[in-house]
Amino acid sequence: NKTRRAQIPIRSGFAIGLIGEMAGVLKTPKAKKAKNASAGEDAVCVFHPKPHMAAGPPQFLNGGILATLADCHAICTALATAYRDEARPIGTGDTLWYVTGNLNIRYTAPVPIGAAVHLRARVTERAKKKMTVECSITSGDTPCAVAQVLAIRVPPSWLANA
């Protein structure tokens, strides 16, 4: 399956210093890079945690950072799906935007610092103004978490002052 990079417009104040280029646009001096691509109906992402992102134990990624990664990846997946549903390239025409209505995450194993984090998201339910996105998170061969995000479409006016 050929993968392609998704270019989703993210405003400069979004997850600064944490996710960095989660969707390819946000750039800050402390930004951490994550690479997104699509693989069929799934959106995939690889993130490389740094030592300062540790939880209490210095060898594991902070759970809040993992939740933020899942949330951002799920919202970006909803955005990409909405643009695809409208048969237009991401970022063209009237801006489409989604926000988090609900985030549920179940942690199953700690994520080691220094190991790549793999996120795979898929829209499982959709309606006119909302989507449910499931996101699985692994490190190596170990399943580490599963998240479910309710993405709610908001009007472009939400971005007027961004």
User: Whose CA is closest to 119, among 59, 64, 47?
Assistant: 47
User: Whose CA is closest to 78, among 3, 8, 161, 21?
Assistant: 8
Task: Give me the amino acid identity at 45.
Answer: C
Could you give the C-alpha distances from 2 to 18, 33, 38, 41, in angstroms and in order? 28, 21, 8, 12
User: Whose CA is closest to 67, among 130, 149, 10, 12?
Assistant: 149
Percentage of residues in the chain having pLDDT higher than 70: 74
pTM of the model as a whole: 0.77
pLDDT at 152: 97
